[in-house]
Chains A and B, each alone.
Chain A
């Protein structure tokens, strides 16, 4: 149990699916223009990954090796359709804002990756915990990026004014750049950089080490 818990916490920061394993980056960048869409997407993805890992792990002895990818994708796609329909029924405005990205959970490498790498080989309980850890790790990044982009882009969080903007008589000039696509790339890039600066063992080895050559020459 202690091992399972340490595995769980490791996935939140050190082995974070988005910044460490580069899984599920597409949606992490696209739905983070505001905090509410980021939260909704996190909830949808965590639900899908937990359910799919549990179901796939439950069926793992009955899935033939040769067609396992098709079975996994079908299970995931069915779950996504259920979530998508639920979202349309109870949160129509948000599902409009998320547009195609809910459907794209199907091809989110994170969900399929955990199914293939973990749920196919482990019993139900550890698979569920693994999926939950990855889901929360993914949500964490989405929430951080979503908060930064909404706060600096509109001066609000979840629609509540935090920094009063100039147009309403406040002091904060909103950075509309934060709402554009490049800002998402920059924020994730800077996050990866800072995580790797804290823990240099994560950093990739440079193919051409200029420092080394300089000291030799």
Chain B
């Protein structure tokens, strides 16, 4: 379990090793405080959606899940994509309403990030990796939290670098997007070093 947690944060970092959520990663990393907000939102959504999707996958979609109902041949696993998207959209909506009701200040801080998360490939990608690697439900919970934390870590570090980068004297064509890609590449190179760490 600890291995899985550490691996999902560092070695298998969703942005830097699997390129998931790059669009949001590049777009919402101009400032550290917004990056922290988005990072927290991703951790929250990821740690809920991955285990819930694991429950739904194991309970209703895998081959033979409907055996108890007298339907041993039903295999709905091709529906997992639509099921995952539905679950993610619903959970983001519920999370938004719950936050508004009980933690209004947190809700206003995270408000604008939550809708963004529904179409973030890191969230759907996390659930799809869970399905592909056939994690059990506790493993899925650990993986969801770890991969969310890894994503948050990456975007906060990247935003901090970008804040400094604004003052650097680069060729004009390199400002913005090109430099962002190169910096992400260097970060990814740094994180690749974790692959050698024995667990």
Contacts and interface: CB of A to CB of B under 8 A. Distances in A.
B175 A203 contact: yes
Nearest to A193: B178
Interface in B3-58: 16-23, 26-27
Contacts of B172: 200, 203, 206
Contacts of A189: 178-182, 184-185
B125 interface: yes
A181 B16 contact: yes
Nearest to B82: A77
Contact of B121 (A78, A84, A104): A104
A25 interface: yes
Given A107-B124, A181-B17, A70 B78 contact: no
Given A77-B81, A192-B178, A103 B128 contact: yes
Nearest to A196: B173
Determine the interface band of chain B, counting residues with CB < 8 A from chain A: 35 or more
B22 A26 contact: yes
A182 B181 contact: no
Contacts of B179: 189
B167 interface: yes
Contacts of B171: 193, 197
A193 B173 contact: yes
B95 interface: no
Contacts of B177: 19, 22, 192, 196, 204
Contacts of A205: 175
A194 B79 CA distance: 42
Nearest to B26: A22
Contacts of B123: 107
Interface string B108-128: 000000000001110111001
Contact of B124 (A19, A29, A103, A193): A103
Most B-side CB within 10 Å, residue of A84, A107, A183, A210 = A107
Contact of B19 (A73, A78, A181, A200): A181
A182 B85 contact: no
Contacts of B81: 77, 80-81, 84, 103, 106
Nearest to B83: A77
B129 interface: yes
A207 B184 CA distance: 20
Given A26-B23, A103-B81, A189-B185, 13 more contacts: A22-B27, A25-B23, A99-B132, A100-B129, A106-B124, A107-B85, A109-B119, A112-B119, A181-B18, A185-B181, A185-B184, A196-B173, A196-B178
| Shortest beta-carbon contacts, A-B, top 7 | A189-B181, A185-B185, A204-B176, A196-B173, A193-B178, A100-B128, A197-B173
10 contacts: A26-B125, A70-B89, A78-B82, A181-B17, A181-B18, A181-B19, A182-B192, A186-B181, A188-B181, A196-B178
